[in-house]
Structure 1
């Protein structure tokens, strides 16, 4: 997916302020002896302008952590912060506006509206917020995902990989502070998955984006700058500049 040279986003704020963080995060389901702690005192920070993958065995708490970081779920105790803003105590409307204005999302399900074209789906967050489209940035994002020739097609006229690229473009068109991706390659074939991961990598390297991605795939995780490993609701390890083999070895050690 080639693209013309572009002007990167403005330099991210000082690295001392993480894009997102969890402090002593606990998420429990149920009560009493039947209670299950999906998160059991997790403290972790995610640097701006970096690509971080979250991995762990099934039931490790990785998706729960992502959902709490994104304000899609609430903690039982502890704190989640987006930049300098604590999510604790925010009302539903405040969380909705925070997600709309400061976050982007890419999920395994593409979540595209079937009656809208690809272009309309990409612009949807801006339209809902009543914001004007920055055409130059829109064109940059569309070129980066290689969708120039497919903008007038509806989701039914696009392959799964193309639909996920529409979803990825939609996540970036608002220039969010952080993009949360939950198993974004899970429904894709290997080539489409590789294309999407290459785009996410470019979004970090060329556009200064911050991405936090949950994945079970060691190959996907190897595209990240850092991998954080969870098991039994706790952080057990992390890797920097990960390779597929190093990720596999760590996952085996954690019992996946």
Structure 2
């Protein structure tokens, strides 16, 4: 496990609206995400989970404060440089898979590299495809794959460019428990075997139990954290948060 900080924030604020109608979605977040770790972000609906991920990933502009990928302050980058950073250093996995239906699984996996004009590392591609168990599905289009297989294509796509960090937004939200467990197992392996850094937004205590660390948000602030989480301990914290104990 790396001791480097893969992503961080300093006094991060995100405010929607103006004046009396304004709402602070993030209210002064200070956070370090360790490299080579699997981190979950949890909290009640409206707590700021997805907003935090979007600000960390440079998908959403911050109101004040700073967000960093490694040593790079992404809140200070011009749009062109931010686009390049997202393309070269960040992987994304979304709940809705976001695959292109007319492309095969292999073409979908290689798409970020194709857009960047980079060639795939054949040995790495083979390793990723083997790890997600898609070797016999590369010629299939998304419509010919199950939900779990489609999400594994999305995971492989996120990994193939060897990003510094992967952000996963409810990656098992549309999957049955068996497919969800397969995807979570693959994400866990990519941390343990490839030293990948993953930040996952989830509301599922079972998903969170695959991670190294859970951060709990409430009202735009980090109010608790849990290392080496188990389903029951995560559930207890979530119940406490939903009852207003923070």
Q: Same fold (TM over 0.5)?
A: yes
Name the structure 2 match of 1:4: none
2:218 to 210, 231, 237: 231
Report SS of the residue matched to 1:247: helix
Name the structure 2 match of 1:171: 158
TM-aligned CA deviation for residue 255 of structure 1: 1.0
Q: How does 1:54-73 map to 2 (within 5 A)?
A: 54-73=41-60
Name the structure 1 match of 2:36: 49
Name the structure 1 match of 2:67: 80
Report SS of the residue matched to 2:5: coil
**What is the alpha-carbon distance in structure 2 between the residues aligned to residue 184 and residue 241 of structure 1?**
20
Report SS of the residue matched to 1:152: coil
Name the structure 2 match of 1:197: 184
Please, which runs of 5 or more residues in structure 1 have no aligned partner? 1-10
TM-aligned CA deviation for residue 74 of structure 1: 1.0
TM-aligned CA deviation for residue 88 of structure 1: 1.7
| Aligned-residue CA RMSD (Å) | 0.9
**What is the alpha-carbon distance in structure 1 between the residues aligned to residue 120 and residue 32 of structure 2?**
32
Moved over 4 A (4+): none
TM-aligned CA deviation for residue 89 of structure 1: 2.3
Report SS of the residue matched to 2:162: coil
Report how many residues are paired.
243
Name the structure 2 match of 1:180: 167
Q: How does 1:1-256 map to 2 (within 5 A)?
A: 12=2, 15=3, 17-255=4-242
Stretch moving more, 229-238 or 125-134: 125-134
**What is the alpha-carbon distance in structure 1 between the residues aligned to residue 200 and residue 28 of structure 2?**
20
Q: Deviations over 1:9-65 (max 9, x none)?
A: xx85xx2x4100011010000011110000000111100000000000000001000
Please, which runs of 5 or more residues in structure 2 have no aligned partner? none
